[in-house]
C-alpha cells in the first residue's frame, strides 16, 4: 500500500518523532490493520529523513510525497492529484 503525506502546520495525523513536524496522511481505502502498518512505515520514514543530519522540519520534503517513495503507482498518483476525495485521511 502506498501512502501520500503532506506537511501541515495546523493539524496532523502523524508527527515526526525527531523534530515534531506534523503531516496529514492519505491512503486508499484499506483495513485497520493495513493502516496501522502504514502509519508505522510513515513514522519510520519521517525519522529516516533526518539520517543525513539535517535539523528540524527542513529534513522533510516541502511538497507532498509518497511512502514508499520507490513504489510508484501511476494509478495512485492520479488519484492523489486529481481525485483526492477518494482518499481517506488517517
Domain range annotation of the chain: 3-89
pLDDT in tens, 3-46: 899 999 998 999 999 999 999 999 877 788 888 888 899 999 99
The pLDDT value recorded for residue 46 is 93
The pLDDT value recorded for residue 35 is 84
Residues 6+ apart with CB under 8 A from 77: 66
The pLDDT value recorded for residue 78 is 52
Q: What global pTM score does this model have? A: 0.71
- Distance (Å, whole) CA 36 – CA 24: 15
Rg, C-alpha atoms of the chain? 13
The pLDDT value recorded for residue 45 is 92
Amino acid at each position: 500500500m502506498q501512502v501520500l503525506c503532506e506537511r501541515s502546520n495546523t493539524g496532523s495525523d502523524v508527527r515526526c518523532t525527531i523534530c515534531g513536524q506534523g503531516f496529514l496522511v492519505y491512503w486508499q481505502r484499506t483495513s485497520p490493520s493495513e493502516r496501522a502498518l502504514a502509519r508505522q512505515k510513515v513514522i519510520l520514514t519521517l525519522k529516516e529523513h533526518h539520517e543525513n543530519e539535517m535539523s528540524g522540519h527542513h529534513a522533510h520534503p516541502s511538497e507532498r510525497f509518497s511512502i514508499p517513495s520507490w513504489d510508484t503507482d501511476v494509478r495512485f498518483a492520479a488519484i492523489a492529484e486529481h481525485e483526492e476525495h477518494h482518499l481517506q485521511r488517517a
